[in-house]
Amino acid sequence: MAAIQCKMARVALGWGVRELAEAADVATQTITRMEKGDRLKPQTVQAIRAALETAGIEFIPENGGGPGVRLARSLNRK
């Protein structure tokens, strides 16, 4: 997961840093460091990613257009 994907996912969910930190069970400073591009322990990155995926985020790998995120289809339906 790229730093920009973390921020895009958080914003797509309407979450602040606090909400993501709580969902991932990490400190708010950890989320800030992740979004700045600092290197984190792999298990910390996985905890953040898992929290975002549980909330309905799908990560899109870089495929020529850069990495991205999207909301799961079930969340997009109205």
State the pLDDT at residue 62.
78
Residue appearing with tokens 């997961």: 1
Q: Which of left, alpha, beta for 76 (phi over 0: left; psi -120 to 50: alpha)?
A: alpha
The number of distinct structural domains making up the chain is 1
State the pLDDT at residue 63.
75
CATH of the domain at 51: 1.10.260.40
Give the angle subtended at the CA of 41 by the CAs of 40 and 44, to the nearest 5°.
90
Residue-range definition of the domain harbouring residue 54 = 3-76
Query: What is residue 70's three-state secondary structure?
Result: strand
pTM of the model: 0.86
What's the token pair of residue 21?
A: 């930190």
The predicted-structure confidence for 15-66, as pLDDT tens digits, reads as follows 999 999 999 999 999 999 999 999 999 999 999 999 999 999 999 887 767 7
The residue that leads in pLDDT, 3 or 67, is 3
